[in-house]
Amino acid sequence: MFRNPTPTMISLLTAFIVAFVGSTVAYIISHKFNVAVFLFGIIALSSFLAVYYALEVFIYRKIKLIYKTIHDVKSHKKESPILKKIDLESDPISEVNNEVINWMTRSNKELEDLRSQEAFRREFLGNVSHELKTPIFNLQGYIHTLIDGAINDPTVNIKFLEKAAKSAGRMADLVQDLINISKLESGENQPELERFDINDLVHEIFDQIEMRAKNRGISLRIKDGCDDVFCVHADKSQIRQVLVNLIVNAVQYGKDNGQVIIGFYEMGEHILTEIGDDGEGIDKEHLPRLFERFYRADKGRSRDEGGTGLGLSIVKHIIEAHEQTIHVRSTDGKGTTFGFTLDKA
């Protein structure tokens, strides 16, 4: 009954106690019952009015004002639409208490998010600086060597220029990948959906990277029973980028004289595409972070082979922009398989 008392309930209880005490004292002094009853009525009425006025004017109205201010601040408006649904005649103390607790919880969460973003920003800047440092230093070294006289040495000048061009190309690739991620995150580079055969697209990519695969003796093939028409509804150029990245990675990290196998599977309203290699695999500890920017499961090898460390992050952003999912599974010593879904056309 008194868990959430109203001003009226508090005033009545207070008035009864004060009037009872006052009338009892009056009866003890005067020994007249009618005087005690009369004083009880007068004291009760005056106490009720005084307490009710004090609670309503000096306490409850101020709490209601605080409550309204909280809603106004949260909604960033002069008049909160939430406030219109609130009965200010109800118990404001409990409502303010709940609002303050909820607000504090949300504020703590926002603070944690800001701290997480700050940590991510520091890590991101550190990673970008680290990735740019090597090609910049290499480029400076080649140019200064040429300036110091190597430009006149026909045995090294072309070689150094080619290496300088390679370092400059790596920096350009990194900047372009950062631009692509920024556009995907901001929604600027939205998928332009069209109908196409993803199996046919994979065959086109096989033709493009065939020589790279042959250099390591790796065969590129479609899984048995999957070499058929699989039409999807997606952005063809973006999915081409996804497939090129995943297939090239499979060739790079697959074993010599191995194979890269592509499979297609119908899953209700979706087509699942899987790209698998038979390389060394990826340790389980790396799998949860594999799609993070600049994260490298094999740091030395990835950097030596010229990767920017952003490829898988771009792949994930593209698939998520299509409102689809991508996953990876890997077995140590047996290989890695990436899979993603697209809408069936």
Q: What is the mean pLDDT of residues 338-344?
A: 95
Q: What is the pTM of this model?
A: 0.59
Q: What's the burial of 126, exposed, middle or buried (CB within 10 Å: 0-12/13-18/19+)?
A: exposed
Does the pLDDT value for residue 92 go beyond 60? no
CA distances from 219 to 209, 225, 255, 274 (A): 11, 17, 11, 16
Residue 303 tokens, joined:
């950097």
Q: Which of 51-55, 104-108, 188-192, 255-259 has the highest mean pLDDT?
A: 255-259
Give residue 86's pLDDT band: very low, low, confident or very high (50, 70, 90). very low
Does the pLDDT value for residue 272 go beyond 50? yes
Q: Which domains does the chain have, with CATH numbers?
A: 7-90 (no CATH), 194-344 (3.30.565.10)
* 336 three-state secondary structure: strand
Does the pLDDT value for residue 82 go beyond 50? no
Does the pLDDT value for residue 6 go beyond 80? no
Q: Which residue has the higher pLDDT, 232 or 101?
A: 232
Least trusted range by pLDDT, from 117-126, 187-196, 231-240: 117-126
Q: What is the mean pLDDT of residues 212-219?
A: 92
Q: What pLDDT, on the 0 to 100 scale, is given for residue 174?
A: 81
As a whole number, the mean pLDDT across the chain is 80
Residue-wise pLDDT tens digits, 112-156? 877 776 766 776 676 777 777 888 888 888 888 888 888 888 888
* 332 three-state secondary structure: coil
Give the whole-number percent of the chain exceeding pLDDT 70. 79
Q: What pLDDT, on the 0 to 100 scale, is given for residue 88?
A: 47
Report d(CA 189, CA 186) in Å as an integer.
8
Give residue 211's pLDDT band: very low, low, confident or very high (50, 70, 90). very high
Report d(CA 321, CA 316) in Å as an integer.
8
Q: What pLDDT, on the 0 to 100 scale, is given for residue 114?
A: 77
Give residue 18's pLDDT band: very low, low, confident or very high (50, 70, 90). confident
Report d(CA 295, CA 147) in Å as an integer.
36
Q: What pLDDT, on the 0 to 100 scale, is given for residue 269?
A: 93
Q: What pLDDT, on the 0 to 100 scale, is given for residue 205?
A: 95
Q: What is the mean pLDDT of residues 10-39?
A: 76
Measured CA angle at 61 (ends 57, 63), to 5 deg: 130
Q: What pLDDT, on the 0 to 100 scale, is given for residue 233?
A: 95
